[in-house]
Amino acid sequence: MSGFGTIIAFVVGDVQRDRVVPPSGITARLTGFAAAAMAFLAVFALALSLASGRLAARWGDELARSSTLRISAPEAQMSEQTAAALRVLETTPGVVSARALTQEEQSRLLAPWFGPDLPLEALPIPQLIEISETKDGYDATGLRLRLQAEVPGAVLDDHTRWRKPLEQAAGRLRVLGIVSVLLIAATTAAMITLAAQAALAANAQVIAVLRLVGARDGYIAQAFVRRFTFRALGGAAVGTVLGLGAVMLLPAASTQGGFLTGLGFQGAGWLWPVLIPPLAGAVAYLATGQAARRVLKELA
């Protein structure tokens, strides 16, 4: 409660205390601009890491529990081999269900490549069987051996071959996004520290006068800290709003666009960017406070 009271007192502040520091036009505008630009970038870094996180989860989770069996066989043996394969799969531990895709489903899958008017019946298209696995999965090597014996035309694809690198790429992308957010926070801190230090150095006379009339370091520091915290807060708020606007202008997630269009926020993810301005304010508060304490100790 007292912590909350301190925050309220800091926000409401003391108008006169703010007046003891002379208004400084260019530093103020630059600090606000830097905070806005960093917040804008932070929105994108957040969007990137959230989207790639979703992607990694989807590929890791959904695809891991499914695999495909492809049967290439002469027309005459196709249905027989399909039935044999389904029999094998149904008796395999770890397989939840196995289902042969219908003619229509197969032509839908091929439509993007060959166009909708392809006469599938005239082509020797392999039969696909969709396999759902339990969480622990099945023994792929054992299944391959059994299939080899009973269904010579079957090829088992457990998706690991292409899933692993994609999953890895998405995971790396997410780490990259998080590292970017951290770098942006650190850069913001560095820039605000430099600006605060410049402002403190430029106001050495003000500080000397305040010390002479009995102002404590805490009083002087607070005047500077308040100013920089509010500049950073305001700048970051503007940058976040602009960044969110830009993200909203991105095309919505869709199956046609692949994973690139998934870049954005979904559901509770929209709450993350709201945290950017207060975090920028907190970073500014800490950075300016430290700079002020350091500079004040150096001054007489």
CB of 206 to another protein, least distance (A): 6
Q: Which residues contact 82 (CB under 8 A, 6 or more apart)?
A: 71, 100, 127, 129
| 2, 141, 205, 254: residue in contact with another protein (rule CB under 8 A) | 205
Beta carbon nearer to another protein, 63 or 215: 215
CB of 220 to another protein, least distance (A): 8
Rg over CA atoms, the chain:
31
Would you tell me how many other CB atoms lie within 10 Å of the CB of residue 145? Answer: 11
| 125, 206, 238, 247: residue in contact with another protein (rule CB under 8 A) | 206
CB 31 within 8 A of CB 228: yes
114 binds another protein (CB under 8 A): no
Q: Which of 159, 164, 153, 150 is nearest to 92 (CA)?
A: 150
Q: Choose one: 44-52, 117-125, 202-210, 258-266; the region binding another protein (CB under 8 A).
A: 202-210
Tokens of 264: 């954005």
71 binds another protein (CB under 8 A): no
CB of 205 to another protein, least distance (A): 6
The site string for another protein over 150-169 (x = CB under 8 A, - otherwise) reads --------------------
Tokens of 37: 């630009």
214 binds another protein (CB under 8 A): yes
Q: Choose one: 27-35, 57-65, 205-213, 255-263; the region binding another protein (CB under 8 A).
A: 205-213
Tokens 């839908």 belong to residue: 108
Q: How many CA atoms lie within 13 A of 94 on its CB side?
A: 14
58 binds another protein (CB under 8 A): no
Cβ-in-10-Å burial (0-12, 13-18, 19+) of 185 comes to: middle
Q: Which of 259, 66, 266 is nearest to 169 (CA)?
A: 259
How many angstroms separate the CA atoms of 1 and 210, rounded?
Answer: 32
The kind and range of the H/E element at 253 are none
Beta carbon nearer to another protein, 135 or 297: 297
The site string for another protein over 15-54 (x = CB under 8 A, - otherwise) reads -xx-xx-xx-------------------------------
9 binds another protein (CB under 8 A): no
How many angstroms separate the CA atoms of 65 and 130, rounded?
Answer: 11
Beta carbon nearer to another protein, 170 or 296: 296
Which residues make up the interface to another protein (CB under 8 A)? 16-17, 19-20, 22-23, 205-206, 208-219, 296-297, 300
